[in-house]
Amino acid sequence: MPCVFNTPDDLPQSIPQLVMRAATIHGDRVALEDPAQRISYAELPDRVLQVTRALMAEGVAKGDRVAIWAPNSIDWVLIALGLQSAGAVLVPLNTRMKGGEAADILERSGASCLFVQGRFLGTDYPAMLDDCRPATLKRMVVLDGEAAKTDDLPLAAFLRLGESVSVDQAQQRAGSVGAEDLSDLLFTSGTTGKPKGVMCAHGQSVRAFNEYVRIIGLVPGDRYLIVNPFFHSFGYKAGWLTCLLGGATILPQPVFDAEQVFQRVANEAITILPGPPTLYLSMLDHPQLDQADLSSLRVAVTGASTIPPVLIERIRSRLGCNVVTTAYGLTECGGLATICDPDAPAHVIAGTSGKPIPGTELRISDPDNQPVPNGENGEICLRGFHVMQGYFNNPEATDEAIDADGWLHTGDIGSLDEDGNLRITGRLKDMFIVGGFNCYPAEIEAALSEHPAIALVAVLGVPDERMGEVGCACVVLRQNHQLDEAGLIAWSRENMANYKVPRHVRFYPSLPMNASNKVDKLALGRELAAAS
């Protein structure tokens, strides 16, 4: 049976309640697994409450913010569940942040405790806070190795603090967490200004991702390799929270490594593998593809607006995934708003993000906040149970994002097709104007992705003396394929309106990626500007 909880009334009211229910329902099934250990669902509550007890001994109260700054791991999940069971609010930090960026979020969130990786990929994370540690941060707990400062503790020593708090006390605290209590404070990427903290409650996430479990057909015992970082809703909510809802095994992947992911799928009987299109492209181009046993792989979930339909077909035929789908969401709506029916044709899955999940309204609005007809571009607006509670300590920004009628204005541009499927066109701020015509990069990228030689493409607007702005296509070619600038421009003129045709083409061995493995257009724009 793909979904354990069939109606909203049947759902646990909070993530701590979900942990307790999952222990009863799934018992001996493996909840968490890495090369060093396995933790069953039956064992999970005790491991989670160990963290809860230590936090209670530390004086952490309901509503306090507690941060995690670390790569994907079993400890990350246990700590997140433990702090949420203490009634605290999870504040995940991007592992690519520098010390000043992390300190800013720690200070503005008022986090009193930080769980931090000691060293990762050559970076000493605690050391990055030496010169900018906010006064609000009372305790730093180092997940690996020893703590450098006397007030900070390694994880094992911190957990021992919990011996002064009984299991019954911790269970009572966990049981007191309700659907309306905040579960997390995820800070947006901050493409304009400082990142803003998005407040989301327990009940919102549990309900939304129960629908995700149902639609992708996750079943108890599935083995879910989570490549997407846990500090992002794709790795957290569409990742390990989804596993807890459906009784799957959580297999954390600490860093995106195409070779390692390929080997893990083949060697560890992975059944579900979400990720960006680049992940699947790397697997399909792997030299061992024909020799590897990928027969366990059943479900692939991706999210982007530039997926050629042939990629969907190749994931189905070459990787053997029966279920391939795409979804759309943003932090301000808990990470999930629409999802494609896995039974839809490849061109629908590749070209759209599907329809709203139950309980969600979707509208495409013009600049006057009026609905536009199907097929016309406008701002994507959402209304429903999972729209954020607001931006933390920022009522002005909240009022700008959510109008008086409860519609969340996403800042994304899109349209609805004749069947009501959402097509993402781009970001309001990414739009550039060529000769008076609005150009949406995602729309152009989707067209260019149809070229058989292109593996990955990003389009940016660049200055032009005559036109004001024109498009520049940044291209990564598929293995053993050739293409030059003139050839792609000529192909583009045959396949899209003239004003959409890129005036410049730049070829790259790879494109800069952010921590969510999406193209980092800010970094790419800086590269283009430096080269001009």
Together in a domain, 359 and 468: no
Tokens of 187: 């800070």
Asked whether residue 71 falls in the same domain as residue 182, the answer is yes
- Residue 136 half-sphere exposure, CB side, CA atoms within 13 Å? 16
**Alpha carbon of 516 to those of 253, 276, 320, 493: distances in Å?**
13, 8, 25, 33
Clarify whether residues 197 and 119 are in a common domain: yes
What CA–CA distances, in Å, run from 442 to 85, 87, 457, 460, 510? 40, 40, 10, 10, 18
Across the range 512-524, mean pLDDT stands at 81
Q: Does the residue 130 lie in any domain?
A: yes
Q: In what order do the strands lie in the sheet with 422-427?
A: 360-365, 378-384, 408-416, 422-427
Q: Does 150 fall in a domain? A: yes
> What whole-number percentage of the chain has pLDDT above 70?
96
DSSP-based three-state secondary structure for 162: helix
If you ran DSSP here, which 8-state letter would residue 163 be given? G
Residue at 379: amino acid letter: E
pLDDT in the model for residue 304: 61
Residue 147 predicted with pLDDT over 90: no
Average pLDDT, integer, range 386-408? 96
pLDDT higher for 523 or 147? 523
- Helix crossing, 202-216 with 15-26: angle to 10°? 40
Q: Which of 427, 452, 477 is the last residue of a domain?
A: 427
Q: What is the CATH number of the domain that holds 482?
A: 3.30.300.30
Which of 18-22, 74-78, 143-147 comes out lowest in average pLDDT?
143-147
Report the share of the chain in percent with pLDDT over 90. 73
Measured CA distances, 206 to 13, 92, 180, 325 (Å): 8, 18, 11, 20
Between 261-270, 282-291, 477-486, the lowest mean confidence (pLDDT) is in 282-291
- What is the predicted pLDDT for the residue at 151? 76
Higher-confidence residue: 82 or 495?
A: 82
Q: Is 281 helix (H, G, I), strand (E, B) or coil?
A: helix
User: What residues does 39 pair with on adjacent strands?
Assistant: 32
Phi, psi (5° rounding) for residue 65? -95, 135
Residues 442 and 393 in one domain: no
Strand, coil or helix: 171: helix
CB 80 within 8 Å of CB 233: no
Contacts of 440 (CB under 8 A, 6+ apart): 377, 413, 425, 426, 430, 431
**Which residues, listed in sequence order, are joined to residue 238 by a DSSP beta bridge?**
none
Q: What's the average model confidence in pLDDT over 222-249?
A: 96
Q: What CATH number has the domain bearing residue 109?
A: 3.40.50.12780
Least confident of 218-232, 350-364, 478-492, 518-532: 518-532
Q: Is the separation of the CB atoms in 230 and 255 below 8 Å?
A: no
CA separation (Å) from 461 to 288, 345, 435, 528? Answer: 38, 32, 12, 10
Task: Check: CB of residue 474 under 8 Å from CB of residue 448.
Answer: no
Same domain, 262 and 374: yes
| Span of 114-118, 161-165, 273-277 with lowest mean pLDDT | 273-277
**41-55 pLDDT tens trace:** 999 999 999 999 999
Q: Is residue 215 part of a domain?
A: no
Distance CA 238, CA 212 (A): 8
Q: What pLDDT does residue 308 have?
A: 78
Domain boundary among 396, 427, 458: 427
282 versus 429: the higher-pLDDT residue is 282
Q: Is the pTM of this model over 0.95?
A: no
Confidence of residue 306 (pLDDT cuts 50, 70, 90): low
Residue 438 domain boundaries:
432-531
d(CA 322, CA 308): 18
Task: Decide if 15 is inside a domain.
Answer: no
Nearest by Cα to 205 from 225, 227, 186: 186
Q: Does residue 1 have a pLDDT over 70?
A: no
420 and 441 both lie in a single domain: no
> Residue 309 pLDDT more than 90?
no
Is 9 contained in some domain? no
Residue that finishes a domain, picked among 427, 460, 482: 427
Question: Do both 44 and 83 map to the same domain?
Answer: yes
CA distance 97 to 95: 6
483 and 508, same structural domain?
Answer: yes
Average pLDDT, the chain: 91
pLDDT score of 70 more than 60: yes
Rg (CA), the chain: 23
Task: Please measure the distance between the N-terminal and C-terminal CA atoms of the chain and give it in whole angstroms.
Answer: 57
Q: Are residues 480 and 416 in the same domain?
A: no
Q: Is the Cβ–Cβ distance between 266 and 292 less than 8 Å? A: yes
Identify whether 135 is part of a domain: yes
**What is the predicted pLDDT for the residue at 191?**
43
Q: What pLDDT does 193 receive?
A: 59
pLDDT tens sequence across 170-190:
999 999 999 999 999 999 864
At residue 83, the pLDDT reads 98
Q: Does 75 lie in the same domain as 169?
A: yes
Q: What is the token pair recorded at 98? A: 């520098």
Cα-based distances in Å from 358 to 71, 215, 486: 32, 11, 47
Residue 133 domain flag: yes
Ranges 141-150, 205-214, 277-286, 416-425: which has the least confidence = 141-150
* Distance of alpha carbon 518 from alpha carbon 524, whole angstroms: 12
For 319-367, write each residue's pLDDT tens digit.
999 999 999 999 999 999 999 999 999 989 988 999 999 999 999 999 9
| Mean local confidence (pLDDT), 130-159 | 90
Number of domains observed in the structure of the chain: 3
What is the rounded CA–CA span in Å between residue 283 and residue 152? 42
pLDDT at 192: 46
Q: Same domain for 292 and 408? A: yes
Three-state SS annotation for 303-322: CCCCCCHHHHHHHHHCCCCC
pLDDT at residue 395, rounded to an integer = 96
CA distance 10 to 20: 14
- Give pLDDT, residue 519: 85
Q: What is the pLDDT of residue 276?
A: 79
Please report whether residue 225 resides in a domain: no
Instruction: From 78, 335, 105, select the one nearest 197 (Cα to Cα).
Output: 105
d(CA 480, CA 257): 22
Whether residue 353 sits in one domain with residue 307: yes
